[in-house]
Chains A and B, each alone.
Chain A
Amino acid sequence: MSGYEPGLIGIVLFAASALASRRAPFAWEHVVGLYGLIVFAWGQYTGLFVAPREAMMGEVSRILYVHVPAAWIAMVLFTVSFGGSLGALLHGLFKKYGKAFAGLAAAGLLVDVIAANAVDAAPTIPLLVVGVVATLTVVGMSVLVLWLEWSADDFDHLSEAAVEAGVVMCGLLLVLGAIFARPTWGVFWTWDPRLTASAVMWLTFVGVMLLRALITDREVRALWASTATILAFVNIPITYMAVRWFRSMHQMQSSTGTMSDGMYITLRINAWAFLFLGIWFVARRWRIAKALSMREAPPALPEPVPVEAT
């Protein structure tokens, strides 16, 4: 058991249910959500009772299994929102060149994996993560535009949904981090680079949500919120890499070399749980956004009466 198995099963479920709903429309996200809840229950049980204690922190370390997945998935959700904003702005471009972009992204990932393997173990994890996330974003967008035939509005709804879920997840990350910090560092909060960057990331995306709430014109809102989201996305690599680029109290990214089996497998299980729950939240919120925009759209004018030549 490597910890990837629940993820693979979940991805297969996600793909299968989404495809099935194209044949006979149903709320496929509930399948993924239910699976997420099951994995979450399993992951939390493992984290609380089965996983080994950390050598120096003891039982306190168990909060790791919610704090770290919340962090990862918050950043993933913000990246999804970024992808949605790119799709809303560059929809036409993806329609024309989507296959080329997807191919380039896959080739780029190959180069990234080779480069990561050529370098020493620990520093390559961020490199790999960035490569995988970037490729998935571009490929995902191409699939959505070319195969599922999403419109620019659909991408804007995705951006809106993912920003909201991401803000909640990021808020959770900050609170759980504070709870973790009190017994381990002695303080709830400190202005070190990683924590400052995380708080700034959260605030920036709250600002994006506020921008969405305060613009009433639908098309202007889509365009400007997408712009603000793209600007806000700059925070994600800064937050993720802050522990490497600056001297921080927060630990650097762990790897399988620095964590025991019991711990990283549990972490992976919980991360998958958060991911599938995140997908569930985003999908539900996407539907709400779509329903709201349908309600806002002006009623269609009746067809003009055909005039016959006399």
Chain B
Amino acid sequence: MLPAKRKSLLQTALLATGFGVLVLVCLVSVWLVREAANSGDLVADTLSYTADLATLQAEVRQAESGQRGYLLTGEAPYLRDYEAATRKVGPTLGHLRELTEDRPRRQKLLADLEPQISAKMAELAHTIDLAKAGQRTAALDIVNSQSGFEIMAEVNARIAAMIARAEGVLREDTDDADRATVMLFAVLTIGLFVIATLAVISLSVLRRSARETEQAYVLLAQANEDLEDRIAERTADLQEANDEIQRFAYIVSHDLRSPLVNIMGFTSELEALRDDLMALIDGRQAEGGQNQGVLPPVNETTLRRDYNEALAFIKSSISKMDRLINAILHLSRAGRRQFTAQPVDLNQLLTEIAASLAHRLQEEGIALNVSSLPQVTSDRLALEQVFSNLLDNAIKYMRNNIPGRIDVTVTDTMTHYLISVSDNGRGIAQSDLERIFDLFRRAGVQDRPGEGIGLAHVRTLVRRLGGSIKVDSTPDQGTTFTVALPKRWTPAR
């Protein structure tokens, strides 16, 4: 595949060559046609020339035979023939002179011929005159002498030579014309062939170029599609993350506002109580004196109770806000801690967690079964937190009346391990399955301690490890949390 620039240069070269050849062919054709025309002209001239020469000869002979006839018979018709022929000789010679104007050789030959013709005509005229004057014998004597005959022979010979020469030239000229025609034909054919070849080459180059362009387009379209797919994926991810942030902000702003209402409310209550308190103190001080009954007696018991109540609520609200803020910080910190990827033996990890929970498991009578788990490349601390929380929840939300059972199993897909923590606890309602992952949210009967932070934290951790978590549950039967972890995870993304 030639680079684009070389290709376009080639195409331009081809086109230029084709055009050049075309122009060349045209020029050559024009030249050859002119040559042919020229030759044609020459041929015409020569033919005219030879014809005139023949005519001249005939006219002289005709004059001669008229003369002979008249000399022999003295009849007028012969005289008339002679006169007619003689009259024609002049013009014919004149025409010949015209024809030979630009042919020097011929001109010379004609110039050499003319005196002979003149001499012959003079001889004839002389004899005629003699015969007209009644001296036929003298005339015949001249005829009998060879002079007239010799001149005529000379004239014939010259004319024959001139005609023969002209015919030779004629053959040459005809040959030239033929050659020119043949060359024209050849040039045209070759030219056509060359142009056709160039056209074919050009066409094939264009075709190949077009095919390459088409291929490029297909690749581009494919790449675009791939890009669009990936963009859609990323956008979906971003959208999900964004939604989570929105939910987070909503929850945080509410759950932090709530205690604030309490603090403000009970502070105001305290203010109201202060007035009552002051009245009470004033009343006590005045007890000994005369100032009784000025103010209505304040119910001391109610006052005590309300005051303590208000303070208690203020304090509990403050500590609640503190706890909430801590939980948020904890979550945010977990989101920011630098994770490292190391090989983690999940069997070992789960065994350690089980050991730390052993006391509670025994107390509640819960059986924990961990099947053979693989090794993954991931952050160890994060995994520990995830599975500790899941097991803790499983223990926390057991049913009261039946022996508890927790199973940890694994499924292998091409790229991920799916680790399931199943329990036979109280289960979660369908409508709560998404809720439980929200911060500060819990589900079901609220008889266990907890802030509702655990699963939100777990989800954040799992996500950062390049995995995902989902939950399946049947109320009153059990719950299964499935964590999908990539087999080999690296922190840089």
Q: Are A and B co-members of a single complex?
A: no
**B residues in contact (CB < 8 Å) with A:** none
**A residues in contact (CB < 8 Å) with B:** none
